[in-house]
Amino acid sequence: MRKITPVQFLTLLILIAFSRPVCGQIQSKELVSKFFPDPGIEINTPGFSKAEGFMTYDDMMNFLEPLAQKHSDFMRIGFCGESMSGKKIPVVYLENKSKNSKIKIWMQGGLHGNEPAGTESLLMFIENLVNTGNIDSILNNVSFAFIPMANIDGYEKQKRYNDNGADLNRDQVTLEQTESVFLKKAFTDFSPAVAIDFHEFRPFRKELESFSSEKICISQDVLFLPSGNLNIPAQLRALTNDVYLKDVAAALSNHELTSNMYFVPNTRKNGVNFLQMGGDSPRSSSSSFGLTNAVSILFEIRGINLGKDSYKRRVYSGYLVASSILETSLKNKNKVLKTVESAIHETKKGKTPIVLSSVPAEYQADVNFLDVENAKYFPLKVEIEDANKQSSVSQRQRPKAYILLPGNASIVQKLQILGLKTDTLRSDVTLNVEVFKINPDTTNPQIRKEAIYQISKKKMLFPKGSFVISTAQKNTNIAVSTLEPEMENGFVIYKMIKANSAGEIPVYRCMSKVKSTILNK
């Protein structure tokens, strides 16, 4: 027998150690044939012309440009900016010249570069849509903006992050990345009533090892992530969950595809396993989009680390989701427009309190997983922490305006990109405001999060050029989520706004309407 040297033995151990997680993410042929067979359809998008790998940026543009030339009366390709490597980020617009009231629908994919199915799904949807016989009728009632490949550099390398090593779906508030600024500006300019973001999720998760002695993985084809953020008007959250998502679930089921609300397996400190379901963070697109008073859903397709395994099924899943969103919008056009209008009116009126903190609902539910080795469903009764069903813990009255000092121009620029209109004082003005001051007892472990800051009333002289952000506007809930200091994803938490030498947070709440006569409009 040939002897193995110590170096060879160590190398072998390393290969085994690193191969185990990878092998654990490869689906058996039995599992695929039983649960994830590809549909018997033809898909003509670029990824399916390749025996290996995924489409490139050039493949996508070579696919889209002839379509735009052929259908130039209603399809055009614009560019909202460039990736870090200098590649132009395309925005595909479908709209006609009809003066009808329309639902504006935004769809994007590829924000995470290693999640290719969303991009391919959107290309499939665009191609089928422009070639349908009733496109004029559709565009009389809706208009579209598509960003098929949001993270171009990451996509071409099949890496989650952009070329700066940043996660673009954690940059929806701070806007630190080049792509984030361009994408958000395009979103704000389009101002959609419905906003959809396509992602893929990882079915084989190490966290599931503690849930069962069997080797299990997530079984669903698509997971739904609407926002549970309670500062999104209730009627908008109800429309999202009770109309749009019910229709999507039915559409997928009709094609023998499975779905569930989005969840992540986790374990509490006491060792109890649970599923974190949903989300409410403005740093992610589902909440960031929803806070602009849009129906907002992030869809996760089963796919990370699967390569091109079941790729046709994954792409078709995304296509069916996009088709369902369109169908629901057309079928419920008046209801959608009225609900969005109602949410905007409620936001501008400013009578609903700001929700500073909330807690998820906790309950038990049966969730289907897959027994990987025996290729069968593996139902589990698990604890759920559901952010889609939250309860408010602390609230605060809305101000009529937020005021920032002239030195905060960079912060104001971000607010403008996020869709907020701002004014400036035309001269020095004394105003009655509320001011936050850091609680000196913040070292007390018993202190509540919302008690970290003390609010006091103050008459203050604001210099000429101070910024005034009225709350009587459509995207006020973005201001609320970024400027209230307790907010988990706000500018204070991110240290973009810091306390002054007196311990005051220089974000001032004006509880009376600021007169237009003192503003530079």
DSSP letters along 215-266, please? -EEE--SEEEEE---TTS-HHHHHHIIIIIHHHHHHHHHHTT--EEE-EEEE
pLDDT grade for 453, boundaries at 50, 70 and 90: confident
With contact defined as beta carbons under 8 Å apart, do 505 and 492 qualify?
yes
Residues 6+ positions from 395 with CB-CB distance below 8 Å: 353, 354, 355, 356
Residue, of 23 and 511, whose pLDDT is higher: 511
**pLDDT at 80 > cutoff 80:** yes
Q: Determine if residue 329 is left, alpha or beta; phi over 0 gives left, psi from -120 to 50 gives alpha, anything else beta.
A: alpha
For the chain, the average pLDDT equals: 94
Quick one: tokens of 345?
């009116």
With contact defined as beta carbons under 8 Å apart, do 354 and 291 qualify?
no
146 has which bridge partners? 92, 107
With contact defined as beta carbons under 8 Å apart, do 254 and 316 qualify?
no
Query: What is the Cα–Cα distance from 85 to 163, expressed in whole angstroms?
Result: 7
Q: How distant, in Å, are the alpha carbons of 11, 13, 24, 215, 217 from that of 18? A: 11, 9, 11, 18, 19
**Lowest-confidence segment of 90-99, 283-292, 364-373, 448-457 by average pLDDT:** 448-457
Phi, psi of 359 (to 5 degrees): -125, 145
Q: Say if strands 376-396 and 467-470 run parallel, antiparallel, or are unpaired.
A: unpaired
Residues 6+ positions from 493 with CB-CB distance below 8 Å: 485, 487
Query: What is the Cα–Cα distance from 263 to 218, expressed in whole angstroms?
Result: 10
Q: How distant, in Å, are the alpha carbons of 170, 184, 439 from that of 177? A: 10, 11, 33
Query: What is the Cα–Cα distance from 100 to 209, expressed in whole angstroms?
Result: 54
In the structure, how many helices (H) and strands (E) does the chain have?
14, 20
Of all residues in the chain, what percent are helix, strand and coil, respectively (each to 5)?
A: 35, 30, 40
pLDDT grade for 449, boundaries at 50, 70 and 90: low
Length of the chain: 521
With contact defined as beta carbons under 8 Å apart, do 484 and 469 qualify?
no
Angle value at C-alpha 257, between 256 and 258, nearest 5 degrees = 120
Q: Convert the pLDDT of each residue in 359-398 to its tens digit.
A: 999 999 999 999 999 999 999 999 999 999 999 999 999 9
% residues pLDDT > 90 (the chain): 90
Query: What is the Cα–Cα distance from 311 to 117, expressed in whole angstroms?
Result: 7
**pLDDT at 447 > cutoff 90:** no
- Please name the residue that has the structure tokens 């706000």: 490
Q: How distant, in Å, are the alpha carbons of 214, 302, 403, 430 from that of 463? A: 66, 54, 11, 9
% residues pLDDT > 70 (the chain): 93
Query: What is the Cα–Cα distance from 148 to 324, expressed in whole angstroms?
Result: 18
Phi, psi of 434 (to 5 degrees): -100, 140
- Supply the pTM of this predicted model: 0.94
Query: What is the Cα–Cα distance from 4 to 26, expressed in whole angstroms?
Result: 29
**pLDDT at 18 > cutoff 70:** no
Q: Say if strands 88-94 and 263-267 run parallel, antiparallel, or are unpaired.
A: unpaired
Q: Convert the pLDDT of each residue in 156-169 to its tens digit.
A: 999 999 999 999 99
pLDDT grade for 444, boundaries at 50, 70 and 90: low
Q: Convert the pLDDT of each residue in 489-515 to its tens digit.
A: 999 999 999 999 989 999 999 999 999
CB atoms near residue 261 (< 10 Å)? 21
With contact defined as beta carbons under 8 Å apart, do 466 and 519 qualify?
no
Residues 6+ positions from 496 with CB-CB distance below 8 Å: 174, 411
**pLDDT at 146 > cutoff 70:** yes
pLDDT grade for 446, boundaries at 50, 70 and 90: low
**pLDDT at 519 > cutoff 60:** yes
pLDDT grade for 82, boundaries at 50, 70 and 90: very high
**pLDDT at 16 > cutoff 50:** no
Residue, of 13 and 429, whose pLDDT is higher: 429
Q: How distant, in Å, are the alpha carbons of 368, 452, 465 from that of 442? A: 44, 6, 33
Q: How distant, in Å, are the alpha carbons of 35, 234, 397 from that of 510? A: 57, 26, 11
| CA-only gyration radius of the chain, Å | 25
Cβ-count burial 53-70 (b if 16+ within 10 Å, e if not): ebbbbebbbebbeebbee
Q: Say if strands 259-261 and 222-226 run parallel, antiparallel, or are unpaired.
A: parallel
